[in-house]
Amino acid sequence: MSAGTAATGSVEHMLRQVTPGRYDAYEALLRALATPSSGQVWMLLWHGQAGSPDAQYGNMEVDGHGYAPCVTSAQELSASGWNRSYEVVDGLDVARTLYPDHYGLWLNPHAPGGGVGIPWLDLRRIATGLERQPAGPLRLSEPGIEIPQFYALLAQNAHRTPAVRALRRAWVQPALGAPYLAIGLDVYDASPPAVDAVRAMMQQSIGAVPDGLPVSTVAMTDEYDPVVMWMRATARPFYDREAHAPAPAQAPAGGYGYPPTGRY
């Protein structure tokens, strides 16, 4: 088996395992797409030729969300009946191209059942490292666990850290993996000294967290992070240096940032 055939087989094998609710199989598909040796896809070009400046991916809309269609092999390209140009690209490169414009990737839309759609939030995970962000769709809520000592100490240390404007919090339940407490860091200054000061603030406070409770931080400047989007829309700051926190908006339903009807 050639390297190209092996690469194709990996993505297509993982794709065949994906069914609604099988998040483990879906994560395996994302890992295959994120691996340069196994993650090539055949992007369908609506305009231009592969490598030309005017090359433009096709686009499709599902439940109000945009996707670029692709196929997973030369055989699937033939089966699709596509008669325009195409471009063979690593999934990692496609993810880096599409997610900043909030476009997802749709694999084999011609296939029985309609193929599999990968929302832009998961392309972001591929582009930046699958292990760096939680697996979605996420269930987000106000934390129900009572840890007033931690919040009080963190707010006290934040007040002593001039770079910090405000702090928010969320309880994050990923599709796979353990739930955790997320702290949203809203800062005035992102210079290296300020970053070091904020890191020290967290280290000085984390000792008040009960054993076994995972805590993560997110930068409120990250406009692509679903936890940040939820916090901005919903979570009132529990520490606000300027003390003029707006009332929270109504929390959206479903897995925040993901299509409401799922991705399959």
Across the strands, what pairs with 216?
182
pLDDT of residue 264: 42
Q: Judge whether 122 and 255 are in contact, CB under 8 Å.
A: no
The residue-averaged pLDDT of 48-60 equals 86
CATH number for the domain running over 3-132: 3.40.1350.90
Domain ranges of the chain: 3-132, 139-240
CA 190/CA 70 separation, integer angstroms: 38
Window from 28-42, 90-104, 249-263 with minimum mean pLDDT: 249-263
pLDDT band per the 50, 70, 90 thresholds, residue 256? low
User: CB 246: neighbour CB atoms within 10 A?
Assistant: 8
Q: Which residue has the higher pLDDT, 4 or 22?
A: 22
Domain range 139-240, CATH class: alpha beta
pLDDT of 248 > 70? The answer is no
Helix, strand, or coil (residue 173): strand
pLDDT digits 0-9 by tens, 70-108 = 999 999 999 999 999 999 999 999 999 999 999 999 999
To the nearest whole number, what is the mean pLDDT of the chain? 88
The residue-averaged pLDDT of 146-161 equals 96
- Determine if the pTM surpasses 0.75: yes
pLDDT of 246 > 90? The answer is no
Give every CB contact of residue 213 below 8 A, 6+ residues apart in sequence: 145, 147, 180, 181
pLDDT digits 0-9 by tens, 207-221 = 999 999 999 999 999
